[in-house]
Amino acid sequence: MAALRYAGLDDTDSEDELPLGWEQRTTKDGWVYYANHTEEKTQWEHPKTGKRKRIAGDLPYGWEQETDENGQVYFVDHINKRTTYLDPRLAFTVDDNPTKPTTRQRYDGSTTAMEILQGRDLTGKVVIVTGANSGIGFETAKSFALHGAHVILACRNLTRANEAVSRILGEWHKAKVEAMTLDLAQLRSVQHFAQAFKAKNVSLHVLVCNAAAFALPWTLTKDGLETTFQVNHLGHFHLVQLLQDVLCRSAPARVVVVSSESHRFTDINDSSGNLDFSRLSPSKNDYWAMLAYNRSKLCNILFSNELHRRLSPRGVTSNAVHPGNMMYSSIHRNWWVYTLLFTLARPFTKSMIPDCPVELGHS
């Protein structure tokens, strides 16, 4: 009770009084959970009432939320110059009564990136998101960062990546977020990125392979491969191979490959049913931008499946996700025809906010 009085919470309701050995805590985003020190476990439900609770309202004037070296949230009262691990808003919690499970999936088109990770404290987790300076990559990186993870935005354009970092820090100045150069169209750049990341001597818990090219005119990369194929698939394939040892050492870890439903509208086999390598990186005469994109997304699916089969016994899962039908983004910018089509479809598409390709089952 002394600790409760210290935080100004000594006036408690007997129904919500915790049993001996229990402690009430809060996550960074305001959800209440309960720690049982006797059995050394935590749970979301109140041990007596079975209710779930969340914090209502902002911190009182003069208070600030901090995180200690162990990742636990504590609170600083700058006016009275004191600190406490008890959230001063705990006297104003509201019940959160989840509905019984239905046949509806847990996440859908109206779910936001922040809602996907709601209640999660990712302090201490390290995440890489490719193509994270805009679109769903940015929203994914931001959600991870605002939930406490150390996030690396791996982007081709370092200037735009640093601007994205600034936008995230503008929402939470203590976010651990940084930008690193990664050009998937150059395998040497992929190698340099992997070397630079390993030099940090940190773990890697989540790798989101999000970057993609769409509707490009036919070009070859410096490695002599068709650009769409290399950026969308081979560059990520090489990146995962180079970071595979770090992922395994960091287990449990996961790889998330952002694919597309368009993988269904193509194939990479010849008339005999054998893999036709010429379809993966076609010549100029055999190139069609939409078909190249579809094939690269099919490669994403096959890669994710095989990666999961090989690494899941070592604690690394691989997930392939579809970000949403006709989602409006800047991926269409390379050809005016697609820009026109996307503009006409924009009123019927999802915005960037409702997407965070994490927490979906492996393919």
Residue 219 contacts residue 284 (beta carbons within 8 Å): no
Q: Which residues are catalytic?
A: 293
The bridge status of strand 253-258 relative to strand 206-209 is parallel
Two tokens, residue 291? 């078909």
Q: Which residues contact 77 (CB under 8 A, 6 or more apart)?
A: 62, 63, 83, 84, 88
CA-nearest of 196, 301, 188, 175 to 243 is 196
Residue 126 contacts residue 149 (beta carbons within 8 Å): yes
CA-nearest of 240, 224, 143 to 185 is 224
List residues bridging with 181 in a β-sheet.
Answer: 155
Q: How far apart are CA 171 and CA 166, in angstroms?
A: 9
Q: For residue 181, with 0-12 CB atoms within 10 Å meaning exposed, 13-18 middle and 19 or more buried, which class applies?
A: middle
HEC string for 254-270:
EEEEECCHHHHHCCCEC
Cα 124 versus chain centre, distance: 14
